[in-house]
Amino acid sequence: MDLKLAYLSQGKLFFKHGDLAARQIDSQFGQEIISRTIKRHQRDEWKFSERESPFSGSMLWGAKQTTPDEMRVNVASATSSDQDGELVYFLETGYVGGLFSYNWTNDEEKRIFHKEAFHIRDMDRHLGLDLIACAQLFPNGTASIGIIKGLGLHQITEGDSLDLSPSWIPGKGQEIVFQSAGIARSPQGRAVGLGPFTIQRLDPEKGSLTPLLDDPEIDFLLPHLDADGALCFIRRPYEMPGRSKPSLLRLAADVLLFPFRLLRALFHYLNFVSLAFSRKPLATAAGPKTDVPDEHMLLLWGRMIDAQKALRENAQAKETPALVPSSWELVKRQPSGEETVLAKSVVAYDMDPANNIVYTNGSAIYRIDSQGNSQLIAKGNLIQSVVIIR
């Protein structure tokens, strides 16, 4: 049977079937959102075409009109469907999120439902029941595990924590495993960091929660428990915010660069005053600075990764350089406690009920065969997740 995969890269969804080349799935709903935004912007552009100073209109109150360049349509998660020839994915913009199905045999997209201020990640469909486990994100920085049934979502975990990556346990009804990390907050209530990710086992019907793996020095990510009781996960060293101390070289550089940074701050202040009163900047050669997200920075399980730097450093070592260091290990732990490292530099992976495993290092997707060897099956760019479509 040919392997069917879906993977996400920079907010785009790709599908690969057997030996065929991967193809991008373009959402008609997403294109309609962009088209409506462009039309609205063109219709209302006259309202914002007057010359403005930093102390007038939208610049004063922050009510900047949304432009097409700022509208980003992002596929955030994908999983299997209960229908043959289909997969399910979650698409979101800044203000609305929706669940969709895609049939790769006839290239047809169907909308299941969409809601405002609705954001989910890490979907996993139950093979025997019409249920999808997922992580729901909230504006306060927390995330909870939820179960989608029909057109509704039922929240099954709560607390000041980041609960992510739920996966169903084969043959165990509605039991799931997931990763969880507590959120560290300042006295003002602002989130300032994460504790180490642990692995938890949850039985929603009984209301029982059982810790499976917990170590103050290690993050445990993307758990999958197979029918034989073996637990697969990604293991990486935990990094506490503020733990690392600046080197002497960095301290010396800060001292030497202080006068230049002070002059730069003074220049920006004078430039602001010039804009306010003469509507002319002090410097125009570089043009206006645009507030565009850096596409080379990836947030992977609470860790910010400089993808461009990682690929540059690893480009000479491998044809498919990794986005993360070798300390990000894919591990299989037997019920006896015996552990086997299946692969290193693993960004994400998936495992099906037949214990087939695929994983990505960020620039390629590999399949682990029955002998434990990694076989290259696809290449991509900044791959953040991979899913086996059952």
pLDDT tens track for 157-178:
999 999 999 999 998 889 999 9
Give the pLDDT of residue 268.
59
Give the pLDDT of residue 370.
74
Q: What is the mean pLDDT of residues 48-66?
A: 46
> 61 vs 15, 54, 64, CA distance in Å?
44, 10, 8
> 338 vs 21, 197, 228, 274, CA distance in Å?
38, 21, 14, 67
Domains and CATH numbers, the chain: 1-43+67-118+358-390 (no CATH), 120-254+325-346 (2.120.10.30)
Alpha-carbon Rg of the chain, whole angstroms?
Answer: 24
Joined together, the tokens standing for residue 299 give 């947030």
Which strands, in side-by-side order, build the sheet including 339-344?
218-225, 231-237, 329-333, 339-344
Listed in sequence order, the residues at least 6 apart from 277 whose beta carbon sits closer than 8 Å to its beta carbon are: none
Mean pLDDT of the chain: 83
pLDDT tens track for 74-83:
999 999 999 9
> 16 vs 19, 24, 81, 385, CA distance in Å?
8, 9, 15, 14
Q: Which of the two residues, 299 and 211, has the higher pLDDT score?
A: 211
Please determine, for residue 342, whether its predicted confidence score (pLDDT) is greater than 50: yes
Give the pLDDT of residue 246.
53
d(CA 78, CA 332): 24
Q: pTM for the full model? A: 0.80
With contact defined as beta carbons under 8 Å apart, do 330 and 232 qualify? yes
With contact defined as beta carbons under 8 Å apart, do 348 and 223 qualify? no
